[in-house]
Amino acid sequence: MEEKVVSRFSKSDLKFLFDKKAIITNYPGSANNWAEGYFSHGSKYKEKILESIVSCAEGCDNLHGFVLLYSMGGGTGSGLGSYILEQLEDFFPNIDRFVACVYSTGSEDVITAPYNMMLATQHLIEYATCVFPFENRALQEITTRKNIACESKFSSISSPFEDMNSIVVNLLLNITSGSRFTGQMNFDVNAIKTNMVPFPKMHFLSSSFSPIGINDWPTVSSNSTREKNFLKACSKDNQMMTFNPLDVGQAVISGMLLGRGDYTLTDMRKYIKILQKKTPFLDWSDKCVKMGLCDVPPVGHAFSMLSLFNSSSVINLFDCMSSKFQTLLNKKAHTHHYTSIEGFDFDFFYECQNTVADIREMYEEIKIPDTSTIPRLQPNINYEYKKFEIE
Ligand SMILES: Nc1nc2c(ncn2[C@@H]2O[C@H](COP(=O)(O)OP(=O)(O)OP(=O)(O)O)[C@@H](O)[C@H]2O)c(=O)[nH]1
Ligand SMILES: [Mg+2]
């Protein structure tokens, strides 16, 4: 929303990418308050936002889906982002909504972030088709460890997050490459949800790719450099969240590999066998590895690998966020800023807590071998939420 931030783009070398009619700003932002972003900006800008989205959608020959990008810790991204996500479901119910969102874990720069992240996560659970969560501390670790080469020619839009954001952008470029280029076994983004989300709402995907930084760039393409690159793409070091989706003790319910450039079908078959041996898949999910091959590698590379996993390890993210949320809510600290916004009810705090606790439970229960006895893992059953009591 912030004019100052948006004008960095409209004045930069990248200005040709943006349709001026589709830029909506306001002064000021949402003061790190989800309720402000969702209720105040949401209701004020609803018409303008929808008008702009509909006009972009009408300009498409073949609308594949929406990609939403926002941070979860502040007020605008989390609040207005949640609002737009909900509106998209309403206006375009059959068009997929992919959300790449940054969790402020590790950067304690917004005190109310736990509230904002929990309220926004509730909306991700209910309205997103697939979520690609990024943790800022994971992005920070990667940029410290690896030498990330940013496009310096766009330095007019530089920010302290430039290197971290370039990782996010490259991941998205990999995810959408199947929709943009040809390939022997290509798939478009819509195939991700069918293959990766076995039960409704369990759509939080761990993602990683390789090469990421200059240190990772292989010079020649050979069987061994390609295999090393595949192993890096599945390693803990390259994950967009701080935990390893393939750790022993986790349950992996689906996986996906997308090889670009020089990768061959023989390579991919071999890697899937390696994965099936090493990965804590469940009895029924060890055949659930989707593979894809896209002809076109990222610029400057001969090959690259993207890996996605739907793993119970995402529980770590929910736990980390919930415990900070609980600490603040126990004292009802800062809650008056939310309840003073028209439309916000104190019960929304409990509701988001229940929704997150429920999805956490689903990821816990998935580890039980016979899921047919677990009602919430059956489609179309509305699970009754229990109300959490606080002192
Ligand atoms: N990775 C990454 N994190 C960011 C970036 N900008 C902000 N953050 C983090 O996101 C959190 C929220 O900050 P903002 O994105 O400024 O929040 P906002 O959505 O603009 O909302 P308001 O400022 O409250 O209007 C903070 O924890 C920041 O550290 C970015 O460009 N990249
Ligand atoms: Mg801001």
The residues facing 56 across adjacent strands are none
Q: Is the pLDDT of residue 67 over 70?
A: yes
If you take atom 32 of ligand 1, which residue's CA is the nearest one? 161
Res. 373 pLDDT band, cuts 50 70 90: low
- Report the nearest-CA residue for atom 5 of ligand 1: 161
Q: Look at residue 8 in the predicted model and tell me its pLDDT.
A: 80
The reply to whether ligand 1 has any atom less than 6 angstroms from the CB of 77 is: yes
The DSSP annotation for 290-313 comes to: EEEEESPPPTT-SEEEEEEEEEGG
The pLDDT value recorded for residue 14 is 80
Ligand 1 center to 301 CA (angstroms): 31
- The protein residue whose alpha carbon is closest to atom 30 in ligand 1 is 161
Question: Residue 158: what pLDDT?
Answer: 56
Compute the distance from residue 75 Cα to the ligand 1 centre, in Å.
Answer: 9
Mutate to test the pocket of ligand 1, among 102, 109, 142, 337 (most ligand atoms within 8 A of CB): 102
Q: State the pLDDT at residue 223.
A: 96
Burial (CB count within 10 angstroms: exposed 0-12, middle 13-18, buried 19+), residue 105: buried
- Say if CB 353 and CB 319 are below 8 A apart: no
Q: Partners of 102 in the beta sheet?
A: 71, 134
Print burial letters for 55-71: b (CB count within 10 Å at least 16), e (below 16): eeeeeeeeeebbebbbb
How confident is the model at residue 256, as a pLDDT? 96
Nearest ligand 1 atom to the CA of 37 is: 25
Cα separation of 5 and 25, whole Å? 9
Identify the pLDDT of residue 179: 86
Q: What is the mean pLDDT of residues 318-341?
A: 97
Q: Kindly state the percentage of the chain with pLDDT values over 90.
A: 69
Give me the sheet containing 206-210, strands edge to edge.
206-210, 303-311, 252-261, 289-294
Q: Is the CB of 73 under 6 A from ligand 1?
A: yes
How many Å lie between the centroid of ligand 2 and the Cα of residue 17? 22
- Ligand 1 in reach of 114 Cβ (< 6 A): no
Percent residues over pLDDT 70 in the chain: 91
Least Cα distance to 266 among 235, 300, 221, 226 occurs for: 226
Question: Mutation test of ligand 1: which of 9, 71, 135 has the most ligand atoms closer than 8 Å to its C-beta?
Answer: 71
Tokens of 379: 């489609």
Distance CA 158, CA 173 (A): 20
Query: Whole-angstrom distance between the N-terminal and C-terminal Cα of the chain?
Result: 37
Q: How confident is the model at residue 159 (pLDDT cuts 50, 70, 90)?
A: low
In sequence order, the β-bridge partners of residue 65 are 96
Cβ of 164 closer than 6 Å to ligand 1, yes or no, is yes
Element holding 43 (H helix, E strand): helix 42-58
Residue of the CA atom closest to atom 13 of ligand 1: 74
Nearest CA to ligand 1 atom 24: 32
Condensed to tens digits (0 to 9), the pLDDT of residues 236-246 reads 999 999 999 99
Q: Which amino acid is at 83?
A: Y
What CA–CA distance (Å, rounded) separates 293 from 15?
32
Distance CA 380, CA 301 (A): 45
Q: What contacts 12, CB < 8 A, 6 or more positions away?
A: 154, 156, 157
Residues 50-76 have a mean pLDDT of 93
Q: Which atom of ligand 1 approaches the CA of 33 most closely? A: 24
Is residue 386 scored above 70 in pLDDT?
no
The pLDDT of residue 385 is 41
pLDDT for the residue 355:
98
Q: pLDDT, tens digit, for every residue of 198-236?
A: 999 999 999 999 999 777 777 799 999 999 999 999 999
Query: Which band of pLDDT confidence, cut at 50, 70 and 90, is reported for residue 274?
Result: very high
Centre of ligand 2 to C-alpha 1, Å, is: 8
Mean pLDDT value across the chain: 89
Q: Which of 98, 168, 93 is nearest to 135 (CA)?
A: 168
Q: Which residue has the higher pLDDT, 318 or 16?
A: 318
Are 84 and 41 in contact by the 8 Å Cβ rule? The answer is no
211 lines ligand 1 (CB under 6 A): no
65 Cβ inside 6 Å of ligand 1: no
CA–centroid distance, 5 to ligand 2, in Å, is: 8
Q: What is the pLDDT of residue 387?
A: 44
| Overall CATH class of domain 3-187 | alpha beta
Contact 108, 117 (CB under 8 A): no
How many of the other CB atoms lie within 10 Å of CB of 25?
A: 14
- C-beta 29 within 6 A of ligand 1: yes
277 C-alpha to ligand 2 centroid (Å): 45
Q: Are 38 and 123 in contact (CB under 8 A)?
A: no
160-183 pLDDT tens trace: 788 999 999 999 999 999 889 998
The DSSP element (H or E) to which 330 belongs, if any, is helix 315-330
**3-class DSSP state for residue 253?**
strand
Write the CA distances from 106 to 7, 109, 242, 315, integer angstroms: 28, 9, 10, 17
